[in-house]
Amino acid sequence: MTDSILSERRGAVAWLTLNRPQIHNAFDDELIAALTDALAQADADPAVRAVVLSGNGSCFSAGADLNWMRGMASASEQENREDSLRLARLMRNLQFLSKPTVARVNGAAYGGGVGLVACCDIAVGVDTAKFALSEVKLGLVPAVISPYVVAAIGLREARRLFITGEVFDAAVAARIGLLHAVVPPAELDEAIERQLYLLAKAGPLAQCEAKRLALRVGGADPAEAERIDAANAELIARLRVSAEGQHGLSAFLDKRAPAWVGGA
């Protein structure tokens, strides 16, 4: 396991921790690959009953790493498509993992971080956490994570948050369904242990089938998800190399307002 992901076994639970606290556990190619591998290992291990996903430090995940974004801004449309497909595979694997998954949301989650939370079966967060799907402010859209976020919070809330890009707090996240429970930071670990206690009381085969049942009845199918992921990767790749996307990314990286903001 690389340093970007800490993997620890605590009894029958695999604890996976995003480990880039100096940059708020932001995504780059290495973290995406490492987390994809860690999830595959946990899924294949019959001794693992559940997976807990968390972040090291004060944030869960700030989304895309700035250097990674800078590289993608100058990459070709094909390179951007391949990059997006790797992130899409991570989200899809987490969504359809055969073991129960618990998001331990220890702090802020933005962009792809929100996607990780949405893909987990259970999500418990601290009351100080902030969330955002702010891609439109860069001239982009939350394409890769969109199926999972829409499934988690519903179409109506997703439409609003996708087009405003606004920051919202843990209370709103709970109200719209992104979080199942909100607790003070000092009570987070106790709340996670409570969920793990409940999970441990169920039969593992029944649990796996119950998860598949819920996903299937809800219209989530792995093959269809892969097709949607491919289409969404095409979309975000096209937007990243578009004039608006290039301008928005450049403005963000240069810490200035884009031209579409009034007064810029």
Question: Residues with catalytic annotation?
Answer: 135
Q: Which helix (H) or strand (E) holds 10?
A: strand 5-10
What letter represents residue 233's amino acid? Answer: A
Distance CA(102)–CA(121), nearest Å, equals 6
Residue partners of 149: CB distance under 8 A and separation at least 6:
114, 115, 118, 133, 142, 158, 178
Torsional sign, CA 70, 73, 77, 81: positive
Q: Which residues pair with 64 in a beta bridge?
A: 27
For the chain, the first-to-last Cα distance in angstroms comes to 45
Strand order in the sheet with 101-105: 5-10, 13-18, 50-55, 101-105, 122-126, 181-183
Q: Which two tokens stand for residue 158?
A: 């997703």
Return d(Cα 49, Cα 210) in angstroms, integer: 14
Q: Are 48 and 97 in contact (CB under 8 A)?
A: no
Residue 131 in 3-state DSSP? strand
